[in-house]
Amino acid sequence: MDKTISRPAKLRGVVKPPGDKSISHRSLIFNAVANKQSLISGLLLSDDILSTIRILQKLGVQIDIAENENICKVYGVGLHGLQVPQDDLDCGNSGTTMRLMIGLLTGIKGNIQLIGDQSLQKRPMERIIGPLNQMGANILSVNSDGLCPIIVHGQPINGGQEINLEIASAQVKSAILLAGLYSDGSTKLIEPIATRDHTERMLTAMGAQISIKDNQIELIEPPNYLNSQNIDIPSDISSAAPWIIAAVIHPDAEILIENVGINPSRFGIIKILVSMGANIEIINRKTISNEEVGDLVIKSSVLNGIIVSKELVPQAIDEIPLIALAACFAKGETQIAGIEELKVKESDRLKNTIDILNQFGGNITSCKQVMIIEGSRILKATHIQCSDDHRMTMLAGIAGLIADGTSSLVNIDSVSISYPSFWNDFDLLSIN
Ligand code: S3P
């Protein structure tokens, strides 16, 4: 599908983005190996989550989905109840699926091959294979290039070990903790910078003993079983991000974004925008299924350029491209440090963010792992050939929504990876 976009006179209304992608993957995977049945509501039903569901079904887990209500029932098979599948496990475009599955499959006796689409075939898996093999697992990159296809020869890691992670990645951390469920002792890891902690929260709620001290996380001993948990999933702050950014930079905006997950380890976008001067209010704060949730009231704002430290980046990793868009409208320069991980997402998001925003008339460069965004720009409509990276397509959509003139976007369908109703919500908020 293609789309022409021009700036509406106003942005108004209420939006409820779909369920959190990270929590959706985890609630399915962890409940699949828990001891009973569980109900998951607010589940994100997008292509990435469907990859996780299909894989769990191939591993012998019954998952019933009531599509209209984003509710599903997972029939847990217990920690040792997964079956060796007949054929390869296709993770599609989903890095989270592949990385978490690698950890989980160390616990199943058998040889299982994981494959992925063209984008996933380029994403580094050595960051998982290295530490897990060092701990005693037997995981192989088929072409010895650290990429997928990956074969997991199921073999538990050894307990009593400590791993110092070189990369700040919640996916790597989660894979190690999942493998730790099948080890014969404790599993300790130290993160260079704290990353999202949904895994620790959910496994703890299911009865695993996890201690967290600064950036040190320890699964104290593998549990005998995980208690199934009914989970109510909040809206994904990463899917709220396009609307947050659109509203702060549009000259006449006031929107309400409902039921958004505001877990502190995902709060980077709000912290960064508030220090730039954004007009953001959080109301109706509550805790649901061990996750902080709130409604966000966002209004047009006057922004100032700032320096974003590398410690904040993992808290906003998927939102950095949109934050760069906001920084184009700020007074003065913005610098964002520690952006190297952007290069290994669903696409090279550092290059693509710079290309897309500069095509709209932005002035963004990068130098030594710092993104530098010149502020006070006037973005102008352009023609964008969208890639298969969902977040880059949404970035182009929001840039087009704010730019002067009429932009045209070609091939906008990749939003189905994380936000199938994105273009619907896009049209709903625009008022002429
Ligand atoms: C995710 C963690 C992040 C994020 C990805 C989802 C997760 O990746 O970019 O979209 O669910 O754990 P890294 O932690 O590997 O940076």
Are 133 and 139 in contact, with CB atoms under 8 Å apart?
yes
Question: What is the helix, strand, coil percentage profile of the chain, to 5?
Answer: 35, 25, 35
Confidence of residue 241 (pLDDT cuts 50, 70, 90): very high
For ligand 1, the distance from its centroid to the CA atom of residue 74, given in whole angstroms, is 23
Average pLDDT of the residues in 267-273: 98
Using pLDDT thresholds of 50, 70 and 90, give the confidence band for residue 181.
very high
Give the pLDDT score at 220: 97
pLDDT, tens digit (0-9, with 9 covering 90-100), for 105-116: 999 999 999 999
Q: How far is the CA of 171 from the centre of ligand 1 (A)?
A: 5
Please list the active-site residues. 318
pLDDT at 74 (0 to 100): 98
* pLDDT(58) > 80: yes
Residue range 415-431: average pLDDT? 96
In this prediction, residues 303-326 reach a mean pLDDT of 98
pLDDT at 66 over 90: no
CA dist 398 and 414 (Å) reads 15
User: 68 pLDDT band (50/70/90 cuts)?
Assistant: confident
With a CB cutoff of 8 Å and minimum separation 6, the contacts of 214 are none
Q: How confident is the model at residue 211 (pLDDT cuts 50, 70, 90)?
A: very high
Inform me whether the pLDDT recorded for 432 exceeds 90: no
Q: What domains can you pick out in the chain, each with its CATH number? A: 3-19+234-431 (3.65.10.10), 21-219 (3.65.10.10)
Distance between CA atoms of 275 and 7, rounded to whole angstroms?
A: 26
List the residue whose alpha carbon is closest to atom 16 of ligand 1.
Answer: 169
Indicate the average pLDDT of the chain: 97
Distance CA 94, CA 148 (A): 12
Residue 411 · residue 1 · CB < 8 Å: yes
Calculate helix-pair angle for 21-32, 95-105, nearest 10 degrees: 20
What is the 106 CA–ligand 1 centroid distance (Å)? 20
**Nearest one of 74, 90, 72 to 82, comparing CA atoms:** 74
* Global confidence as pTM: 0.98
- CA torsion sign for 89, 158, 170, 19 is positive
Q: Where are the alpha helices (DSSP H) in 329-431?
A: 349-359, 390-402, 422-429
Nearest atom in ligand 1 to 169's CA: 14
Average pLDDT, integer, range 154-162: 95
Q: Is the pLDDT of residue 298 over 90?
A: yes
Q: From the CB of residue 127, how many other CB atoms can be counted at a distance below 10 Å?
A: 19
Residues near ligand 1 with C-beta < 6 Å? 22, 96, 169-171, 174, 195-196, 317-318, 341
Q: Which ligand 1 atom lies nearest to the CA of residue 314?
A: 16
C-beta neighbour count of 14 within 10 angstroms: 11
